[in-house]
Amino acid sequence: MHTNDTTSLAACRDWAFWAILILGAFLIFKGLGDRPLWQDEAETATLARNVLATGLPMVTDGVNVVSQEERREFGPDMIWRWSPWLQIYMSAAGQLIAPRDAFWARFFFALTGLACIAATYLLVARRFGDLAWARLSALLLALNVPFLLFARQGRYYSAGGLVFLAILWGFLGDWKRRWPPLLTIALGLGVLFHANYLLLLSLAPPLLGAALLLYRERTSLARTGLVIALSCTLIVPGILLYRMGRQSTLFNIMLVPENLMLYFSDWVMFMLPLPVLAWLGWRWRGFFLGRGGPDEPGERFCLFMALVMMGSFVILALFPQRFHRYIVHFYPACAILLAWAGLRLWRFSRPSGALFLILVGLTNWLNLLPMERLKIVNRPWENDLTMLTSVNVPLKLHLTELFNGYPADVNQALIDFFLANARPGQTILAEYSDMVLQFHTPFRVIGGLQGPINPAEKPDWVSVRRAVRVNRDGQVFAPREFVTRGLDLARDYERIELNRPDETFGNRADPYFHYFVPAGPPQAPLVVYKRKETARAD
């Protein structure tokens, strides 16, 4: 592998590298704060705002309580202990500039997403000395719309991708003999835990397994043990800090087959098209039949990454909640794989290679059309033709949202309404988007999954949503139960119908749910209830 100064200097002077970074910066930062935070982003950002006041992720500011797990996330000390803190402090760093501002709450996450593009290029250029492969890998990642959506979110997603690239960087170095690569791997594993420990739990075992299968000569038992010991100095305190044992009851072995199928579906629909996977499987059939892996370093590395991803999917399938965000850190690896495959095809037939690269870079046709022909497409019933689950040109959809905005954002509608109509000191009961309203408005906001509501509560405002949501136990959210049994909306409240659609989530990045263009009619309107003055007097 080439790691000499000449290769590094050539990479830094490469005009294509800087052009790709400028393109990536535009696609990530353009309109970054135009849409408000959605529910999960707002949870992180509200905790971060409390960090600015106390130095710790307290779940309350004295008015509101941050919770989406019915108050399981904290104890009597009111310190958040459900999920790692890295993303909270990243959000806090941005909010030092402007609290309650969506742009700055997302800024460092977006910057990390841009760093993923740069790191993808540098990993290939400096570890393999192939500028064409490096350029193409970075370009495919910069054009990948699902990756861009997650990079524009105020959560750990892009940070996980950057840390994974750092681990690969260290692994491809001479970590068996040199300290900097070894420390990079150990630090990367520790930081990954504090980004999201599920990423570490699903990544570390397949990393070790794939290394033993393909790089046994470069793997040292003693040095591996040292990596584990060093990373544990960061991980073990976190295990105690985040009280991971409280989540041990979330496992459900019965969901493993379905989850495994869904992760494979995600992989094919948005990351590596089925025809590419089929070709790679055929090309590497000798390895899977026990005849050894490829000798060429770049191809061996591609097989290594594929094995790591497949192993991670198996481990992730053990956890009952299956979300696309748990595999977002693999987008850079998939871009590297697609670029390698495209260059192999280009060198065999330039017209075919060019067509392939256009298809995977600008369309999702190879991802979806084969699945539709095989009738294995996984598309929610309510999705329309302007979403990533349908055959499209994703970059066109992304640019449409960047330049035209998204006027139908349900969270923006709620924020605008309450800022214009609610008075200081009033209470809002929100069936959903309670975290959003806590971050973007100054009011007391209860509801969501914060837990049971005091029967004596008489909220000034009630936001009821069309979607009926249930908790982990399959029970209806507490606000719906409270409104149904504890309030008389017809008698005590005035019904206000907003001229905005009651969309489900708002600016959610998940490619199954992200709307780039507002859906057309018919759509249920957003409804808010205002407590009548006569009811207040009573």
pLDDT in tens, 42-66: 999 999 999 999 999 999 999 999 9
- Domain boundary, last residue among 379, 399, 419: 399
Same domain, 519 and 458: yes
Same domain, 371 and 454: no
- Domain boundary, last residue among 369, 399, 429: 399
Same domain, 441 and 394: no
Domain membership of residue 150 as a residue range: 5-30+83-399
Band the pLDDT of 402: cuts 50, 70, 90.
Answer: very high
pLDDT over 80 (residue 446)? yes
CA distance readout (Å), 140 to 88, 337, 362, 483, 514:
29, 10, 9, 49, 20
Task: Give the integer Cα–Cα distance in Å for 518 and 501.
Answer: 9
Give percent above pLDDT 90 in the chain.
Answer: 84
Task: Give the integer Cα–Cα distance in Å for 206 and 188.
Answer: 15
Query: In this structure, is the dihedral angle defined by the CA atoms of residues 102, 435, 404 and 22, taken in order, positive or negative?
Result: positive
Could you tell me if residue 343 is inside a domain?
A: yes
Same domain, 357 and 426: no
- Reduced to 3 DSSP states, what percent helix, strand and coil does the chain have, rounded to the nearest 5? 60, 5, 35
Same domain, 345 and 394: yes
Could you tell me if residue 141 is inside a domain?
A: yes
Same domain, 116 and 196: yes
Predicted pLDDT at 523: 85
CA distance readout (Å), 436 to 84, 95, 186, 378, 445:
20, 16, 36, 29, 9
Same domain, 25 and 173: yes
Could you tell me if residue 44 is inside a domain?
A: no
248-262: pLDDT as tens digits: 555 677 788 999 999
- Domain boundary, last residue among 399, 419, 451: 399
417-444: pLDDT as tens digits: 999 999 999 999 999 999 999 999 999 9
Could you tell me if residue 76 is inside a domain?
A: no
Same domain, 373 and 507: no
Residue type, 270: F
Q: What integer is the mean pLDDT of 13-18?
A: 93
Same domain, 339 and 421: no
Could you tell me if residue 439 is inside a domain?
A: yes
Same domain, 414 and 374: no
Could you tell me if residue 36 is inside a domain?
A: no
Query: What's the domain count of the chain?
Result: 2
Could you tell me if residue 70 is inside a domain?
A: no
Q: Which residues contact 164 (CB under 8 A, 6 or more apart)?
A: 188, 192, 199, 203, 329, 330, 332, 333
Same domain, 390 and 416: no
Same domain, 260 and 147: yes
Q: What integer is the mean pLDDT of 125-151?
A: 97
196-215: pLDDT as tens digits: 999 999 999 999 999 999 99
Could you tell me if residue 306 is inside a domain?
A: yes
CB atoms within 10 A of CB 100: 16
